[in-house]
Amino acid sequence: MSVWCRQSVDGVPDEPYLVAPHYDRQTDAELLEAKAEGARGKGWAVEMTEPRAFTATKGRWAGVLCVREFWAD
């Protein structure tokens, strides 16, 4: 299993990329929770979209909408 992220800026998506675990034996659920908590701590609006997925949204770069989708496959 793996955790993935895809960022979209002003509705234009980048290619998904694999998110590296923070430590050995970190589960996908633990990694997703850590990424969600980290995003919340940096002012992102986090919404759980599925049990194994969330979306983080934030206005960045002079108000440009940035959306990051995280999911475990």
Sole residue written with tokens 């440009």: 64
The number of folded domains in the chain is 1
Q: Which domain holds residue 28?
A: 3-72
Residue 69 pLDDT class (50, 70, 90 cuts): very high
13-41 pLDDT, tens digit per residue, is 999 999 999 999 999 999 999 999 999 99
| The two structure tokens encoding residue 53 | 């997925």
Question: Quick one: pLDDT at residue 66?
Answer: 96
Q: How far is CA 32 from CA 16, 17, 23, 72, in A?
A: 15, 14, 13, 8
Give percent of the chain above pLDDT 70.
100
- Whether 44 contacts 55, CB under 8 Å: no
Helix (H, G, I), strand (E, B) or coil at 59: strand
Question: Quick one: pLDDT at residue 63?
Answer: 81
Neighbours of 67 (CB within 10 A): 17
